[in-house]
């Protein structure tokens, strides 16, 4: 039967890894919306702190004076070419520092206008306090210097700034009197030093020219005679190298044709036709012409005479002698041509060597000249640079002698400091805005931290995914209005038209259609931890099943904290399953009838010293078997799974187990541990019931007023009155006789 039951149970999903137990399981917006009170409280605290700070903070007033520093005439030192950093800009920063120097501030504090200042009343050193409070800034895009001071007293702030500016202008005017004369003196001293340097460079350059005579032929490379001679020698050397190559190739060809006199003669004639001068002789040409004449005569004689005639024989003999002479002449010609070619090759080599020697000598002279030219160019450049700087100094001295005010500074007060009307600090809008941002950031961070530390299950989807079990039903919260355990435990009987009653009937339907009746007769109702509503779910589910016409009994197996006697108003000491297990009472006498037809209850009875051993005994197994045989459904209220091992013993003995979780209370770790404990004893988990769901929560699949009809309005004609109560039998339902149960116990 167990195998059939396991096949009919809903397929359990795999349990997700432990990483899903940590962190966030929802979107950021949902988390922040749930923690909205934390965010609002943090924001309210920071805003309150900002408001209190604004109320208690001393208002500060900032007074500012603006100075325009102008240089008259031509600047003594111009801006650099880059335009980014210049000596003039640096000088503006120098003037800003002069405004804050001790001498200027001391003169300002000695002024009668300063009098008794409240600003520095508590300062041990007024000068140090003034320097610390005085703010001098140079404009980034102009030549304006801003002098500011912040003080709780606006009149004193303006007075101090104007006095410091007046002291600076007075000191500047005193220094300006001797500025031009001092500048001219410095420039003249520099001009004298530069003149000495210019003379030294000129003497060095002249001495170098005397020591290098080659510079007398010109300092430019294209006009220098050494360079021109080197160029001509290079061209002549190139031609000589080409002539040597040609002579060598001709000589090699003559050597190869030394044995072929006729071929050599033809080669020589070909070279002569290409313009190459080759010594030749006319004897060979005369003999060839004579041989050709004899060949023509023999051809004429053959037309008239036979070949064996004496005339023809004489011509043949003469032609043979001429050929021998031609052969001798060719051999003599070949010998002479070989000697001529060798002489030409040797002469070309000699000429090339001679030109190479001259070229090398001239090249060394050119290199030495080039080094001299480089050194001379450097000396000349230094001399011209020094001369140019001397000319610039002469121009500056001449201009300063004409206008003594050139290069001096004119300081003009663009805007004098005046007592401010509005305080500059603290800034209310900025302070409150900063407090708001800080509160929001702190609230969001605190909310996310609380969410990260909070491992409670937040939705049915999360429960189903985490445990791998289906959701059998969702029970709305019964906390408000406050109800007694008896009313909550019998909600289906007391308020049959309520949403809670309809939720328990939904769970009943899931059990009826989820597993066949014979395979789910004994049902264990448990929870991972205490106070999650398992006893309430067990009693209401039993009432709903009894109202469906099934014979049902509720067994309170939670010997540690029994609850069913409170729900059904039964004396816990008079009857109970603990008395039956102790053989002090029969099972039939221990069963109590209820006000619901077809429903009985078997309470826990007096306290048991060893609950786990009692539930694991054979006696309890026989009791469970007898109840299973007599009743259609046996609903067992068991202790929490994680706290004690009683539930695992009961789950192993019973057909199916239903796990009750409390919305927004049950945690991931404990729920997952409860499931693992049940799986460890091969318990058959039917599903999960989510209890105490807020009425306006939609993350548990519950929508207030949708899915559960408002029976009260229907029953009273839509006027909102309460529905008429059903007639409830005043007598309790009878319980089975002892004769029907005791024989099964004896078995």
Dihedral angle of Cα 715, 721, 722, 726, to the nearest 10 degrees: -40
Task: Please give the Cα distance from 506 to 502 (Å, whole number).
Answer: 6
Rounded Cα distance between 172 and 180, Å, is 13
**Residue 105: its pLDDT value, please?**
86
- Quote the CA–CA distance of 452 and 34 in Å, as a whole number: 13
Q: Which pLDDT score, from 0 to 100, does residue 699 have?
A: 56
Cα separation, 234 vs 245, in Å, equals 17
User: How far is the C-alpha of 558 from the C-alpha of 576, rounded, in Å?
Assistant: 11
pLDDT at position 713: 35
Token representation of residue 157: 């702030």
Measured between alpha carbons, how far is residue 351 from residues 98, 227, 242, 358 in Å?
Answer: 84, 22, 11, 11
Q: What is the dihedral of CA 337, 263, 320, 290, to 10 degrees?
A: -70
Query: 553-590: b or e for each residue (b if 16 or more CB lie within 10 Å)?
Result: bbbbbbbeebbbbbbbebebeebbbbbbbeeebebbeb
Element (H, E) at 635: strand 633-637
Cα 385 to the center of its chain, rounded Å: 54
Distance CA 49, CA 37 (A): 18
For residue 377, count CB atoms less than 10 angstroms from its CB and return exposed for 0-12, middle for 13-18, buried for 19 or more: exposed
Q: Residue 568: CB partners within 8 Å, gap ≥ 6?
A: 486, 489, 490, 539, 554, 592, 594, 601, 603
* Cα angle 31, 36, 41; round to 5: 140
Question: Which segments in the chain show pLDDT lower than 50?
Answer: 1-11, 13, 15, 17-24, 73-87, 221-222, 274-277, 279, 406, 703-734, 737-739, 742-747
Q: What is the CA radius of gyration of the chain?
A: 62
By C-alpha distance, which of 715, 720, 695, 716 is closest to 706?
695
Interval 238-252: pLDDT, tens: 887 777 887 777 777
Nearest to 154 by CA among 194, 190, 118: 118
Place of tokens 């912040």: 150
**Is residue 667 within 8 Å of residue 530, measured between CB atoms?**
no
Strand ranges in 60-172 using DSSP code E only, listed in sequence order: 61-71, 134-138, 144-151
3-class DSSP assignment, residue 35 = coil
- Read off the pTM: 0.49
Residue 535, token pair as written in the block: 């006893």
Report the alpha-carbon distance of residue 352 to residue 330 in Å, rounded.
33
Residue-wise pLDDT for 658-700, tens only, equals: 999 998 888 888 999 999 999 999 999 999 999 988 876 555 5
Question: In residues, how long is the chain?
Answer: 747
Parallel, antiparallel or unpaired: strands 409-415 and 471-476: unpaired
Strands 656-662 and 522-526: parallel
The full DSSP string for 536-602 is: HHHHHHHHHHHHTT--EEEEE--SSS--HHHHTT--TTTS-HHHHHTTSS-HHHH-EE-SSTTEEEE
Neighbouring residues of 483: CB distance < 8 A, sequence distance ≥ 6 = none
If one counts every other C-beta atom within 10 angstroms of the C-beta of residue 699, the result is 18
Q: In which element (H, E) is residue 690 found?
A: strand 685-693
Q: Please report, in angstroms and rounded to a whole number, the separation of the first and last CA atoms in the chain.
A: 21
- The H-assigned helical ranges of 403-514 are 428-453, 460-467, 485-489, 491-494, 499-514
In which region does residue 583 sit, left (phi positive, over 0), alpha (psi from -120 to 50) or beta (all else)?
Answer: left
SS (H, E, C) 247-286: HHHHHHHHHHCCCCHHHHHHHHHHHHHCCCCCCCCCHHHH
Can you tell me the distance from the alpha carbon of 199 to that of 387, in angstroms, rounded to the nearest whole number? 10
User: At how many degrees (to 10) do helices 460-467 and 668-680 cross?
Assistant: 40
Question: Sheet containing 61-71: which strands, arranged edge to edge?
Answer: 134-138, 144-151, 61-71, 409-415
Cis peptide before 184 (omega within 30 of 0): no
d(CA 35, CA 448): 8
* Cis, peptide link before residue 481, omega less than 30° from 0: yes
By the 8 A CB rule, do 602 and 634 touch? no
Q: How many C-beta atoms surround the C-beta of residue 676 within 10 A?
A: 13
């Amino acid at each position: 039967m167990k195998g059939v039951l396991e096949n009919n149970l809903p397929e359990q999903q795999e349990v997700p890894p432990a990483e899903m137990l940590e962190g966030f399981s929802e979107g950021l917006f949902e988390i922040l919306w749930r923690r909205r009170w934390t965010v609002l409280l943090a924001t309210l605290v920071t805003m309150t702190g900002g408001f209190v700070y604004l109320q208690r903070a001393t208002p500060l007033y900032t007074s500012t004076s603006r100075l325009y520093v102008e240089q008259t005439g031509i600047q003594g030192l111009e801006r650099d070419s880059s335009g980014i950093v210049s000596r003039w800009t640096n000088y503006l920063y120098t003037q800003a520092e002069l405004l804050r120097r001790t001498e200027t501030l001391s003169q300002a504090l000695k002024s009668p206008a300063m009098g008794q200042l409240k600003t520095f009343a508590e300062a041990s050193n007024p000068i140090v306090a003034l320097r610390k409070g005085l703010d001098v800034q140079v404009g980034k895009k102009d030549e304006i210097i801003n002098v500011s001071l912040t003080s709780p007293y606006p009149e004193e702030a303006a007075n101090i700034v104007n006095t410091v500016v007046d002291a600076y202008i007075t000191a500047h005017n005193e220094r300006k009197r001797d500025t031009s004369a001092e500048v001219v003196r410095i420039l003249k001293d520099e001009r004298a030093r530069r003149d000495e340097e210019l003379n030294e460079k000129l003497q060095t350059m002249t001495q170098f020219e005397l020591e290098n005579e080659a510079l007398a032929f010109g300092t430019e490379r294209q006009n220098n005679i050494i360079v021109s001679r080197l160029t001509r020698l290079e061209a002549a050397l190139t031609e000589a190298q080409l002539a040597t190559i040609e002579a060598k190739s001709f000589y090699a060809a003559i050597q190869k044709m030394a044995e072929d006199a006729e071929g050599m003669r033809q080669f020589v004639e070909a070279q002569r036709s290409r313009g190459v001068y080759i010594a030749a002789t006319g004897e060979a040409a005369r003999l060839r012409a004579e041989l050709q004449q004899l060949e023509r005569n023999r051809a004429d004689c053959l037309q008239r005479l036979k070949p064996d005639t004496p005339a023809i024989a004489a011509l043949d003999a003469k032609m043979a002698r001429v050929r021998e002479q031609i052969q001798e002449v060719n051999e003599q010609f070949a010998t002479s041509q070989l000697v001529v070619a060798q002489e030409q090759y040797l002469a070309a080599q000699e000429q090339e060597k001679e030109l190479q020697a001259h070229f090398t000598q001239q090249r060394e002279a050119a290199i030495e000249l080039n080094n001299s030219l480089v050194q001379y160019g450097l000396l000349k450049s230094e001399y011209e640079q020094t001369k140019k700087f001397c000319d610039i100094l002469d121009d500056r001295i001449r201009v300063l002698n004409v206008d003594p005010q050139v290069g001096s500074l004119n300081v003009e007060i663009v805007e004098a400091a005046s007592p401010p009307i509005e305080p500059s600090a603290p800034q209310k809008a900025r302070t409150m805005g900063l407090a708001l941002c800080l509160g929001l950031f702190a609230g969001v961070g605190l909310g996310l931290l609380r969410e990260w530390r909070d491992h409670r299950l937040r939705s049915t989807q999360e429960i189903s995914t985490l445990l791998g079990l289906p959701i059998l039903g969702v029970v709305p919260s019964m906390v408000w209005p406050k109800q007694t355990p008896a009313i909550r435990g019998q909600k289906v009987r007391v308020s049959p038209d309520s949403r809670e009653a309809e939720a328990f009937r939904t769970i009943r339907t899931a059990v009826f259609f989820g597993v066949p009746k014979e395979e789910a007769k004994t049902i264990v109702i448990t929870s991972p931890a205490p106070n999650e509503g398992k006893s309430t779910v067990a009693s209401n589910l039993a009432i709903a099943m009894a109202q469906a016409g099934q014979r049902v009994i509720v067994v309170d197996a939670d010997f540690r904290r029994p609850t069913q006697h409170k729900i059904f108003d039964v004396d816990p000491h008079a009857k109970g399953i603990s008395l039956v297990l102790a053989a002090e009472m029969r099972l039939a006498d221990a069963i109590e009838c209820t006000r619901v037809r077809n429903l009985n209850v078997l309470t826990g009875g007096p306290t048991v010293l060893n609950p786990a051993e009692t539930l694991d005994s054979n006696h309890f197994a026989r009791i469970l078997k007898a109840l299973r045989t007599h009743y259609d459904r046996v609903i067992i209220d068991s202790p929490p799974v994680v706290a004690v091992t009683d539930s695992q013993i009961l789950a192993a003995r019973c057909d199916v187990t239903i796990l009750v979780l409390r919305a927004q209370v049950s945690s991931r770790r404990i729920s997952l541990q409860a499931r693992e404990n049940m799986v460890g004893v091969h318990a058959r988990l039917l599903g999960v019931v989510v209890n105490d769901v807020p009425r306006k929560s939609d993350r548990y699949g519950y929508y207030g007023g949708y899915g559960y009809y408002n029976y009260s309005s229907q029953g009273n004609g839509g006027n909102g009155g309460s529905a008429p109560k059903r007639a409830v039998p005043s007598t309790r339902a009878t319980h089975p006789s002892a004769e029907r149960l005791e024989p099964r116990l004896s078995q």
